[in-house]
Amino acid sequence: MVSRRELIGRMSVIALAATATDARGQTAKRSASAGSALLSADVPGIQLPAGKHSVAANITVRADVVAMPGATIEIAAGKTLTLLGDFQAPVAPIFTGPGRVDMNASRAASACPEWWGAVRDNSAHDCLPALRACVAAHPVTLLGAADYFISDTWKIETSHRRIWGAGKNWGGPHQGTRIIVVSGNRDVVQLGFDTPPASVNDYLNSVDFRWMELTRSAPPKASADDGAAGLRMRFTLDCLVEAISADEHAIGYSVTGAVYTHLRDCHAFRSSPGDKSGPQRFWAFHLDGRTPAAFPGGNASLYITNCGASIGGTPGVPQSIGAYVQGSFADTYIQNFETSQIATGIKLDGKTGKPSIDQGRAGQANFHLLMPILDGYSAVGIELTNISPYAAIDIVDPYCGPAPGAFAGIFIHQARGLVTINGGQLHGWYDTVNGGNALGIFAQNAEGIGIIGTKVIGFRRPISFEQCRDFTIDAAINNPGEKAAQPAISLLGCAHGQLRARIKGQDGAFPAGIDLRGGNHHLSIDAAGIDPACLNTGIAGRIIGRGDNAGLAPATIAISGNIA
């Protein structure tokens, strides 16, 4: 067997151009033609000794190359060094000069930005040129467990790339990879393009971006409707973003024009105040479909899985949002999204910048929100507003736990179309025992809501509908140790609804079961699931206000369930 040392000893030691300067500063002269001949020779490999080696012409090297410590390759302007074999080198500066390196077809497993001059853990050194050069040169970029400071946004516009760091949960030196932009108004990383490409086939394609923290060294700045982001994704196709932490930004992740794109195990965090010259904003995930460019939705087949957002300290962002889905949102799938101490966990606002019949029909269909965990929200767990008549929204198994003083677990207003809430748990006792008055589910001026099997527990105001039509309420309401401030279900000015709720709790937990006072009509109510023991007025309080419905005949409200 031949040892590695023997193999390297047998390799042809050649220079890569007309002039090579060794470590002692001595210069050996060769002709350019002789250098080209050596590079074209059929040799098993090249051992590149310490010193500067110049490339003055376009050169293609087919042999394997081992660069020894201290070796550098200077490439002249307008020239390209193409490496087709394996390439091994220390994690240190190797490639210098204005020319370029092409390792896209090489047998080297990966490249590192240090070969192009990136310096780890040095806030005075701009690593942006090295990061760009590395991504352009090789399909696989590997970053070390270190900080890489950049002066501007790192824009990744080359398809078929894998860019991996060494971990997202930075806890100190050598405990993960951080990309740090030294600016308050620049994004840290952008995947994709500033303007829409001609077709989806020209989108940024097949980029795998993982395992790093994106942060900044200056307070983030927000504008009227945008802000400095950790990661901005624009016009991507079949891309994967995984295990990324976006910390201390106005927007953690801004996504538009994403086609069959996945975000997995990504988190946004905010603990420090922003630039005082702009709005104090924190949108952890902004799915921007206000001006869709190529599809009815702002994104097409966007998958967000096991992601989340949180706030620590006192950043001064009272209107924070975990996931802000704005404009057209068709073909969006959000699963296991978790927030902590965020004002509004998830908000869908269907208002678009350029409304059209296409967006109205197709732009708000096929939205799925599965098992969100929304804990400690100070305003609303889930909010839906400005929803089109063609909307189709499914919310499955949500968990909502308010902070004291929160407004509502689920708030739906100015909404048409069809919205289904299937299962889930809304726990309001922590707000209640701390003097709050939160709503569990509140719908206002809305249509097409279906609530099926949702558990609403410990709220002062469990369910309230105002000016709503075409709805179903089939919920389980329970106040085992809390006194409600209003009936378990209150309807005002509602029509064409079905109610089949189960209501229980401690003795006298609710003033009444279902309150129909105020212009309700054409309702079907099954009261069999209302336990009179939990009502202040007993069995007589199962349904109140049936006669107070704007003069409409009681026959427009059908009640079953053995009502006395």
Nearest to 213 by CA among 159, 155, 143: 143
> pLDDT tens across 404-458, in order?
999 999 999 999 999 999 999 999 999 999 999 999 999 999 999 999 999 999 9
The confidence score (pLDDT) of residue 2 equals 42
For the chain, what are the domain ranges? 1-107, 110-396, 413-564
Q: What tokens appear for 239 in the block?
A: 């891309």
Residue 379, judged by CB atoms within 10 A of its CB (0-12, 13-18, 19+), counts as: buried
Query: How far is 78 from 233, CA to CA, in rounded Å?
Result: 31
Q: What is the pLDDT confidence band of residue 353, given thresholds at 50, 70 and 90? A: low
> pLDDT tens across 474-532, in order?
999 999 999 999 999 999 999 999 999 999 999 999 999 999 988 899 999 999 999 99
Per cent of the chain over pLDDT 90 is: 81
290 Rama class: left (phi>0) / alpha (psi -120 to 50) / beta: alpha
Average pLDDT over residues 37-54: 76
pLDDT of residue 14 exceeding 50: no
The confidence score (pLDDT) of residue 174 equals 87
The confidence score (pLDDT) of residue 556 equals 87
> pLDDT tens across 83-117, in order?
999 999 999 999 999 999 999 999 999 999 999 99
Average pLDDT over residues 388-409: 97
> pLDDT tens across 166-191, in order?
999 877 888 999 999 999 999 999 99
Q: What tokens appear for 73 in the block?
A: 């390759």
Query: How far is 234 from 348, CA to CA, in rounded Å?
Result: 20
Paired strand residues for 521: 495
Nearest to 170 by CA among 144, 131, 207, 208: 144
> pLDDT tens across 213-266, in order?
999 999 999 998 899 999 999 999 999 999 999 999 999 999 999 999 999 999
For the chain, the average pLDDT equals: 90
The confidence score (pLDDT) of residue 225 equals 87
> pLDDT tens across 124-156, in order?
999 999 999 999 999 999 999 999 999 999 999
Q: What is the pLDDT confidence band of residue 278, given thresholds at 50, 70 and 90? A: confident
Q: What is the pLDDT confidence band of residue 563, given thresholds at 50, 70 and 90? A: low
- Could you confirm whether domain 110-396 is CATH 2.60.40? no
Pairing of strands 27-29, 19-22: antiparallel
The confidence score (pLDDT) of residue 203 equals 98
